[in-house]
């Protein structure tokens, strides 16, 4: 077995579950997350950037996040028209609640999608992966202190954006 593949298999063992979880949280589709996880590792095997990366774990997670949001962009229009949620015949309260909850998730993800890449990665790692500020600090080469302040600002912006979307939706209704 070559060195690159062996290294990737080690990373897969160590981070595979966490990567899969974050991919599901961003795409909201397990089958897509499965495909993206495979795409991620196959891409990295052929990536000189990854081969020479001084912090392969960082590279791995940021590429995964990039791939997932890339998928969201590609499928935004398609999803708007063919979302399986819209095709559900079940109109029970539980199903309605699930649909509402999913729409909420989509709204948050759309807002996160439009953040600058570093902000987006930070928010995903902190709030979707649950990585501690201390761990993120080494990942982003800064201090936990600064990351907290940064997150606070980003969240304020997201809230503003979501509130504006809500007002718009209410106006249209």
Partner 1 sequence: MMDENVEELALFESFRDVAPSEESSQRAIEKVRNALMKTLQEPAILPSASDKARPLRRWIGVASVAVAVLAAVIVVFLQARKNMSPKTEPPFVLIDGNGGSMHVPDSSQSMAYKAIPFLHPLIADNATVMVANGGDAPLALGSRVTTTDNDGKLHVWNWSQGKMSRILPGIEYWGTDSAITPDGRKLLFQYKQIIDLANGNIKLIDLGEPTIEIGGATYGRLGGMRFSPEGSRLAVMVTEMNRNTPGRIERESMRVFEFPSGKVLADMPLGESYELRIAFSGDGKAIAMGSADQEVTLCETDTGKVLRTFAPKLASQLISIAVSPDGKYVAASDREPGDLYIWEMAEGKLLHTIKGEEFAKGGATGHAHGALRFSPDGRFLADGRWNATFVIDVAKGSIEAAAKDGFPSQVQWSADGTTIMIIGSVVIHEPVDGRGKDNSYPSVRHWKWRPGLLQTLSEYFF
Distance of alpha carbon 21 from alpha carbon 28, whole angstroms: 10
Whether the CB-CB separation of 128 and 22 falls below 8 Å is answered with yes
The 3-state DSSP class for residue 146 equals helix
Under the binding rule (CB under 8 A), the answer on residue 5 touching partner 1 is: yes
**Nearest CA-CA partner of 25 in 148, 157, 116, 127:** 127
Q: Which of 8, 126, 5, 105 is nearest to 57 (CA)?
A: 8
Rounded Cα distance between 31 and 99, Å, is 19
Site string for partner 1, 17-46 (x = CB under 8 A): x--xx--xx--x-x--xx--xx--xx--xx
Cβ proximity to partner 1: between 14 and 86 the closer is: 14
Nearer to partner 1, 3 or 89 (CB): 3
Can you read off the two tokens belonging to residue 63?
Answer: 């590429």
Query: Taking CB under 8 A as the rule, does residue 61 contact partner 1?
Result: no
Q: Which is nearer to partner 1, 9 or 80 (CB)?
A: 9
Q: Which is nearer to partner 1, 13 or 90 (CB)?
A: 13
SS3 category, 40: helix
Alpha carbons 17 and 125: distance in angstroms, whole number = 14
- 114 in helix, strand or coil? coil
Is 10 a binding residue for partner 1 by CB under 8 A? The answer is: no
132 forms part of the interface with partner 1 (CB under 8 A): yes
Pattern 77-106, binding to partner 1, x per CB under 8 A? ------------------------x--xx-
For binding to partner 1 (CB under 8 A), which residues are involved?
1-5, 8-9, 12-13, 16-17, 20-21, 24-25, 28, 30, 33-34, 37-38, 41-42, 45-52, 63, 66, 70, 73-74, 101, 104-105, 108, 116-118, 127-128, 132-133, 140-143, 145-146, 148-153, 155-160, 162, 164, 167-168, 171
């Amino acid at each position: 077995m070559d060195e690159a593949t062996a290294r990737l298999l080690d990373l897969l063992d160590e981070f595979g579950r966490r990567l899969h979880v974050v991919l599901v949280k961003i795409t909201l589709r397990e089958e897509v997350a499965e495909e993206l996880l495979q795409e991620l590792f196959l891409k990295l095997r052929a990536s000189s950037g990854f081969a020479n990366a001084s912090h392969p774990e960082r590279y791995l997670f940021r590429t995964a996040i990039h791939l997932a949001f890339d998928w969201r962009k590609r499928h935004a229009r398609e999803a708007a028209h063919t979302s399986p949620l819209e095709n559900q015949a079940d109109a029970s309260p539980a199903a309605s609640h699930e649909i509402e909850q999913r729409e909420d998730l989509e709204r948050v993800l759309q807002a996160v999608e439009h953040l600058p890449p570093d902000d987006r990665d930070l928010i995903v790692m902190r709030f979707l992966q649950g990585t501690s500020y201390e761990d993120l600090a080494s990942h982003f080469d800064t201090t936990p202190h600064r990351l907290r302040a940064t997150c606070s600002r980003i969240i304020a912006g997201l809230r503003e954006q979501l509130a504006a979307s809500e007002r718009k939706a209410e106006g249209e209704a």
